[in-house]
Homo-oligomer: A and B are copies of this chain.
Amino acid sequence: MPTTRLALPNGNRLLGALPGGEFRRLQPQLKEVNLTFGEIVYEPGATIRYVYFPSNSIVSLLSATDQKATLEVGMIGNEGMTGVSVIMGVNQSRPRALVQGTGTALRMESAALRRESVRLEYFHQLLLRYAHSLMTQMSLGLACNRFHKLEDRLARWLLMTQDRIGSDEFRMTQEFMSNMLAVRRERVNKVAGNLQKRNLIKYTRGHVTILNRPGLENGACYCYGAMKQESDAGLRNGKQ
């Protein structure tokens, strides 16, 4: 039964990690907007006009090859922001950014982001650490993709989604998952069916519920833990 609901702060954790002064400085430039499932935030090659700090929405970064052969290379939720390349001096998006989970986000103009990231030292460092965590998650994903079983990867992906959306049920079809994991839908059907048989999840017609999170964590490859650690590490103070 869908029992646990994650008690997540109703906001973006990256912004939440800022010292009060820096956050207040940014606040006037942040506007709350809705991101709806299926919306494309950035098209490959397009100029990044806004960056988004998701609250309970999720944005997926997709490899920018063909339309049909897609693969998720990054997942962005309340722990991060879209358009990190802006702070690295690159104003065009390489990947396609697609809204995977409907919800809200705080929007900021890229130009304002560049301006403020120069001015606000902690903010700047925080964003760079986040960029690093995204990069590390990509390299983990590279290996995970190659070495681990699909069922474990799906479990990992579901957990990551739950972490970011902050709810144990969300809209999700097998078709969509097959695009994220870059496999055929039939295979998703099979492994998702297994997860359901094991009473870890249940799903019907475009709707997934996490039933047993610890069990799912147990079934997921260790990449889940590694990626989670990475994304949490980005939020901490960087003095090492």
Contact = CB atoms under 8 A, between A and B. Distances in A.
A182 interface: yes
Interface in A42-84: 61, 63-65, 69, 71, 73-74
A73 B129 contact: no
Given A61-B139, A240-B92, A69 B147 contact: yes
A89 B128 contact: yes
B128 A87 contact: yes
B140 A90 contact: no
Contacts of A64: 143
A40 interface: no
B142 A71 contact: yes
**What's the number of copies of this chain in the assembled complex?**
2
Interface string A204-240: 0000000000000000000000000010000000101
Contacts of A91: 240
Interface stretch (A7-15, A21-29, A130-138, A167-175): A130-138
A197 interface: no
B142 A135 contact: no
Max chain B C-beta neighbours (<10 A), residue from A88, A132, A140:
A88
Contacts of A230: 94
A182 B143 CA distance: 9
Interface residues of A, number: 38
B90 A132 contact: yes
A115 to B, nearest CB: 15
Nearest to A141: B142
A104 to B, nearest CB: 26
A166 interface: no
Nearest to A131: B88
A145 interface: yes
Given A63-B143, A89-B129, A142-B145, 9 more contacts: A63-B139, A71-B142, A71-B146, A89-B125, A92-B240, A94-B136, A142-B142, A145-B146, A146-B182
22 contacts: A63-B143, A65-B143, A69-B143, A71-B146, A73-B142, A74-B139, A87-B128, A88-B128, A88-B129, A88-B132, A89-B128, A90-B129, A90-B238, A131-B131, A134-B135, A138-B138, A141-B142, A142-B145, A143-B182, A145-B145, A146-B182, A147-B182
